[in-house]
């Protein structure tokens, strides 16, 4: 099955698929539960393109990972169903994106991997474990099983509890419907603060609203592919109402703790999309790989007709990694006096600084305040 799938891939996808098993899903997989929250220094950085392609024995390590005729019937979800192809078509008045998405290279996006910022303060521990409670509830509601290693991932893919295309879309839609709240709420509150105090905001508002817009584009893209049922919509209404108001009140009192929470939330988003990418690389979910791309996604991420669902998820994972970097950095700042370090490049200074339109200076655990020109 895998050899058949590999033959149908484009030339662009071939090196990615052959490299996938060898680079351990872009992060250390030597006991996911043991090392998952280790410091950045313990993470295994992904191999570069040249290193992986120069290996003489480049081949699938699991050639018999999936045989569809041997699979038991999956316990699928009823929360989200797949839409017909005709529903992916756009109307006559599709507007262009207000916030232009930067163009990132494949090497930059493939270089994204899971990192965890170690908890250092009491606020960090509170936000992290609150996020973990939400994550565990999220896993239960979407039928997600987190693999311990690669063999466990293959075992799950061959079982009734495997991640189907509908389950992945359920997970994406629920995730993105919540992820779009923090940026809009924080941007709105900083906007009110700016006009109330009659002073400039130092460019935080634009970055926060861009983040909210980006998350909404993720949701709109997945909504073109999946149709949430009544129970899913009801769950999202309650979840959004509770989370939005809680985030609103907390941001008024402790904005830094809110940004730290979003940073940890985006770490989990990067992990989720990395798992999805690995499933497609290993041939564990060819149906998901061959899912079409809506026009709204092509316009926003500058995708072509040759690009695949895999390419789109690469962009989305990179977006989440950027939000991870931004929010962890904001949580390290003195928000009442510092400027937004992502808003403007600092000329005539050799020190590396964060940038909003590139992944070249990306730091997954955020930038420390002492390293920034503020």
Locate tokens 């280790």: which residue?
Answer: 38
Cα(43)–Cα(116) distance, integer angstroms: 9
Binding-site annotation: residue ranges for Fe cation? 176, 215, 218, 266, 320, 323
Binding-site annotation: residue ranges? 176, 215, 218, 266, 320, 323
């Amino acid at each position: 099955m895998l050899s058949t799938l590999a033959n149908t891939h484009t030339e662009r996808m071939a090196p990615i698929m052959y490299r996938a098993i060898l680079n351990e899903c872009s992060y250390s997989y030597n006991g996911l539960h043991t090392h998952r929250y280790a410091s950045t220094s313990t993470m295994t950085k992904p191999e570069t393109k040249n290193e992986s392609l120069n290996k003489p024995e480049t081949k699938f390590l699991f050639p018999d990972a999936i045989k569809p005729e041997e699979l038991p019937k999956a316990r699928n979800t009823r929360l989200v169903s797949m839409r017909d192809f005709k529903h992916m078509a756009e109307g006559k008045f599709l507007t262009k994106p207000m916030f232009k998405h930067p163009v990132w290279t494949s090497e930059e996006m493939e270089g994204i991997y899971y990192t965890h910022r170690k908890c250092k303060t009491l606020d960090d521990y509170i936000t992290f474990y609150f996020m973990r409670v939400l994550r565990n509830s999220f896993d239960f509601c979407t039928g997600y099983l987190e693999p311990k290693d690669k063999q466990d991932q293959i075992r799950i893919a061959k079982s009734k509890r495997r991640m189907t295309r509908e389950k992945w879309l359920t997970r994406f839609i629920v995730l993105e419907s919540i992820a779009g709240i923090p940026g809009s709420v924080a941007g709105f509150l900083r906007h009110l603060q700016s006009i109330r105090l009659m002073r400039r905001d130092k460019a935080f508002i634009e970055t926060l609203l861009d983040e909210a817009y980006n998350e909404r584009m993720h949701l709109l893209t997945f909504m073109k592919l999946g149709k949430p049922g009544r129970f899913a919509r009801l769950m999202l209404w309650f979840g959004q109402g509770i989370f939005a108001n809680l985030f609103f009140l907390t941001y008024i009192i402790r904005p830094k703790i809110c940004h730290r929470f979003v940073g940890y939330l985006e770490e989990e988003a990067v992990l989720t999309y990395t798992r999805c990418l690995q499933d497609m690389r290993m041939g564990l979910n060819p149906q998901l790989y061959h899912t079409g791309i809506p026009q709204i996604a092509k316009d926003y991420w500058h995708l072509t007709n040759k690009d695949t669902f895999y390419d789109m998820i690469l962009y989305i994972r990179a977006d989440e990694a950027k939000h991870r970097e931004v929010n962890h950095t904001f949580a390290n700042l003195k928000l009442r006096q510092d400027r937004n370090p992502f808003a403007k490049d600092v000329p005539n200074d050799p020190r590396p600084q964060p940038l909003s339109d590139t992944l070249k200076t990306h730091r997954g655990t955020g930038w420390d305040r002492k390293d920034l020109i503020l």
